[in-house]
Amino acid sequence: MTVHKQFLVRAAARNNAEWCAVMSRSHGLAGAFDPQVWAAPARTPLFYPDAVTLVPGADPAALAARIDTSAPGASVKDSFADLDLTGAGFRMLFEAQWIHRPASAPDTTPDLAWHVAGDPDTLHAWALAWDNGNGNPDLFRPELLDDPATFVLAGRSADGRVVAGAVASHSDQVVGISNVFALDGGPDAAWPVVLDAVHWLFPTLPVVGYEHGEHLAAAVRHGFEPVGPLRIWLHG
């Protein structure tokens, strides 16, 4: 891995950990950062890890000791894909790639208008569209609106419905994108409007995130490059 990619992976991992911390705080759970990891002492919200490594070579035993492995579903985001957590009772759930896109406008002109959700009703409409009937729209709580680094991006159809979107998380060196969705057309329909919003909000910052499978292929089609692997470990 080149020095530049090492920098990008570290920046992406830190940005993602900060977003996980924001999401956990919105559910009343305070995690903590140390030089190696961010970790929460109790189970984090659905789909969110209990710990995120910030540097290569984190101590697996110290990491496992900081999270609640007695609760079902405990997980770790191994940001550098360099840990073996099997001895602590974990199994690898999946591997993904950190992705990076230089600061620039989208390659494809978006056909949706967008705005940043700024009130609980708009956030709820976004969450209902993101969830698409799976029963988890309350994952995104109004407390998220109080965080100055979090931008919930909503793409609207001509009749005003939220039909696409993502969450943008601003940090000093990058802007991280997560929860990319579109009700029709999948991520290929979402990325143009998301990238248009991010370029307007943060025109000088590179964009990072992580994806795998078909979602990774879609991100590459929209100007991202994979810069390094990560792994998600699940306990039990």
pLDDT of 108 reads 85
Q: Cα 31 from chain centroid?
A: 17
pLDDT of 95 reads 98
* 3-state DSSP assignment of residue 83: coil
Whether the CA torsion 20, 183, 229, 11 is positive or negative: it is negative
Confidence of residue 197 (pLDDT cuts 50, 70, 90): very high
Gap between the Cα atoms of 234 and 236, Å rounded? 7
Gap between the Cα atoms of 221 and 187, Å rounded? 10
Average pLDDT value for residue range 56-76: 93
**Are the C-beta atoms of 58 and 230 separated by less than 8 Å?**
no
Strand-by-strand arrangement of the 175-182 sheet:
32-33, 37-39, 51-53, 75-78, 225-235, 90-101, 207-211, 175-182, 162-170, 150-156, 113-116
pLDDT of 177 reads 98
Q: Which residues contact 2 (CB under 8 A, 6 or more apart)?
A: none
pLDDT digits (tens, 9 = 90+) for 72-102: 899 999 999 999 999 999 999 999 999 999 9
Is 111 a residue whose pLDDT tops 90?
Answer: no
pLDDT of 24 reads 97
Average pLDDT in the chain: 95
pLDDT of 72 reads 86
| Span between the terminal Cα atoms of the chain, in Å | 32
Confidence of residue 71 (pLDDT cuts 50, 70, 90): confident
Gap between the Cα atoms of 124 and 136, Å rounded? 11
Average pLDDT value for residue range 175-193: 96
pLDDT digits (tens, 9 = 90+) for 205-225: 999 999 999 999 999 999 999
